[in-house]
Amino acid sequence: MVKKYQHVLSLAFAVKEINENHKILPNITLGFHVYDSHFDAQVTYCIYAPAVNDVTHHFPLYRMVPNEEHQYTGIVKVLLHFQWKWVGIMAMDDDKGEKFVQMMKHMFAQNGICTGFTERMPIQSNILGVLNFHDMFINMTTLLSKTSVNVCIVSADTHMILDLQVVLNLGVENMLPINKVWIMTAHWDFSVHPFLKKLDIQVFHGTLSFEVHSNEVQGFQNFLRRHDSDSDGFIRIFWEQAFSCLFPGADIGEETSESCNGKEKLESLPGPFFEMSMTSQSYSIYNTVYVVAHALHALYSSRKRHGTMVGGDHLEASKSQHFKLYPFLRSVSFNNSAGDKVSFDEKGGLLAGFDIINWVTFSNQSFLKVNVGRMDPQSPLGKQFFINKGTISWHSQFKQAVPLALCNDPCYPGSSRKRKEGEPFCCYDCAPCPEGKISNERDMNDCFHCPEDGYANKERNQCLLKGQNFLSYDEPLGISMTVLALALSAATALVLGIFIKHRNTPIVKANNRNLSYALLISLLLCFLCSLLFIGRPQFLTCHLRQTAFGIIFSVAVSSVLAKTLTVVLAFIATKPGSKMRKWVGKRVSNSVIFCCSFIQASICMVWLCTDPPFPDLDMHSLPEEIVVECNEGSANMLYYVLGYMGFLALVSFIVAFFARKLPDTFNEAKFITFSMLVFCSVWMSFVPTYLSTKGKYMVAVEIFSILASSAGILGCIFFPKCYIIVLRPELNSKNQLKKRNK
């Protein structure tokens, strides 16, 4: 009743404005009637335009509301904005409540929101019904106080709010405080009946509600302050209820009631019972009056153009006149005095949005309405919904932090959701991300792999950038390999220098000094070519690594094979009548080296021309590093190079093994046998080691194999001779060689 009185005053204010301002709507004069209603009945009112012969044409109030689907969409957007996925729904137990519940559940399911509970309030038709529902209220209080749901959506019609307020206050009285975030629909006006004045309104502190968009109308509050009671029956009933007084002659029979003088001030009433500012419902009624007036003006103008006027400027009297007004109602479009545009869509729905209101209550039964957002379907896409959470005042239970509304604790980054069997989809367990996967947001449905250039950290909640893996000159392993290669190269150069310096001594001559020079030079190049494997792979180094290594090693092994064959042929040629003397000499040894090396060089040329090596990035071999490597191109060609080199070494080993018992004067076969044994052992162990390592360690294994096999040949073949040449020169003579030959 109290709020309905403000609606009537809004209607009266609009009628007064229109009748006093004929510049906007000339020839239109409006009046209104309020039809009597007792305490709990709906107030009925209509507006009319006087016509000829004092005939009154009544036009039922055209109540304007936006499409409610926009409100439901706004509710869902609020829930998603605050990540509220576990909510309750409360509505009256009637067709309207059922429609609301079904609509909400449908939209919740589409947006990943679960319903923790759905409660219906039975409709009470009288005071006796309220008393009979006391047990139901107690049960509802217990349910709301124990549920884990922190957010409740309420279809906020008048009966629902009254019942809910009773339930919440019962909770306070029974030490079962119910601290929820209430989200109310636009039907809520926060009004209470006089017999509920003592109920605490702070139970609604922090409530969010939707209201049809409204604006402050200038002059309305002054209009309310000047208004007082009159003889109107509806006004008298309102006045007595609002100020708890009785007018003289009232047949109530309460001697203790104060008398009403009609001069009481409306601004003295608490906010929950009467608001001095225009509510959204009153604003809607205010706009409705103007809509009807504009429609009447359009109807009047239309009739005047078509000559259907009688009695001067009056409309032709007709009982169906108001039905002819409806087409003009839908075509109305204007800006009201508050600056808002009022218009309708093709279906007759009001083109307006909803305001989101935060209700702040105080202990003196007053409250403050704070506009914190807007749901405006007419705004551009992406800007239709807005909410400023920084201005929202939450219930004290939540300590001014955004409340949580989840079935269970969220799954934090590093884990993903795992559905619980038999539970709503909003209820889930959290499973850690598997190896190599991450989740970097809360409540992710699944973990995902990092990009190729990243890897998962230990917590598996973010991707770290992979480092580059290659054997660098700056790291200890690269430095040690470089120093070792240079040291062996220096040792080889030293041996070569010793052999050149003592080239005319018997021990150098006896072991074919030209082949020795060729072998030493090839070993020196072998040691140096290992440096191609160190450093960041480049186009040129990738082309040269394996091919240079294969060709140079083939020259070295061919030289060893040539030395072995020279020893065998020289021994056979010393036998009386032997025909092998013509094969002893430089021509045979040079031919062996050239032919064997040419075959390897041909294989390498075919490799470079068909599918050569190239710099590449291996993203997957190492979990936390990118391997910067030389992709070998054709792996088969690499196997051919290594296989051919192994074949030469095996042949050299076999020939040297069978020649090991020849006379000592000419015999290097024992040393060659040992050198080839070392060579073959190194490269046989290289294969499994190489295949079991990754990145720079794979390169280090190959470098070590090159250095070890080359050092084996150098040590086994040349160090014994250097020992005699440098430390035991007395043994480096023809007499000593002859003695050893006897």
- 641 domain residue, yes or no: yes
- 190 domain residue, yes or no: no
Asked if 629 contacts 616 with a C-beta cutoff of 8 angstroms, the reply is yes
Does 450 lie in the same domain as 546? Answer: no
pLDDT value of position 3? 60
Beta strands across the sheet bearing 354-361: 114-121, 86-92, 151-154, 181-184, 207-212, 354-361, 367-375, 385-387
Domain boundary among 295, 323, 351: 323
Does 701 lie in the same domain as 568? Answer: yes
pLDDT means per 10 residues, the chain with 742 residues, are 68 80 68 55 55 41 69 93 92 88 93 90 60 73 85 84 79 79 81 56 86 83 69 64 72 60 72 70 82 79 60 46 65 82 77 88 80 87 87 84 86 91 86 92 90 91 92 93 95 93 84 86 93 92 91 90 76 56 65 90 93 91 90 89 89 80 61 85 87 89 92 89 85 64 48
Task: Determine how many CB atoms are found less than 10 A away from the CB of residue 471.
Answer: 24
- 183 domain residue, yes or no: no
Which domain range does residue 458 map to? 415-465
With residue 356 as reference, give the H or E element that holds it: strand 354-361
pLDDT value of position 667? 56
Does 461 lie in the same domain as 481? Answer: no
CA distance 204 to 668: 105
Does 495 lie in the same domain as 433? Answer: no
**What single letter denotes the amino acid at residue 186?**
A
pLDDT value of position 463? 92
Domain boundary among 293, 323, 353: 323
Partners of residue 91 on adjacent β-strands: 120
Does 525 lie in the same domain as 437? Answer: no
Does 553 lie in the same domain as 681? Answer: yes
pLDDT value of position 483? 95
- 593 domain residue, yes or no: yes
With residue 91 as reference, give the H or E element that holds it: strand 86-92
pLDDT value of position 51? 46
pLDDT value of position 574? 57
Task: Determine how many CB atoms are found less than 10 A away from the CB of residue 318.
Answer: 13
**What single letter denotes the amino acid at residue 13?**
F
Regarding pTM above 0.95, the answer is: no
Instruction: Look at the alpha carbons of 507, 511, 512, 518 in this order and tell me if their dihedral is positive or negative.
Output: negative
- 706 domain residue, yes or no: yes
With residue 90 as reference, give the H or E element that holds it: strand 86-92
Does 420 lie in the same domain as 497? Answer: no
Does 705 lie in the same domain as 557? Answer: yes
Domain boundary among 323, 345, 374: 323
Does 454 lie in the same domain as 552? Answer: no
Half-sphere exposure of 380 (CA within 13 A, CB side): 0
- 155 domain residue, yes or no: no
Does 509 lie in the same domain as 431? Answer: no
In Å, the largest CA–CA distance within the chain is: 163
Does 626 lie in the same domain as 492? Answer: yes
Written as six digits, the tokens of 733 are 């003579």
Q: How many domains does the chain have?
A: 3
- 370 domain residue, yes or no: no
- 135 domain residue, yes or no: no
**What single letter denotes the amino acid at residue 730?**
E
Does 661 lie in the same domain as 514? Answer: yes
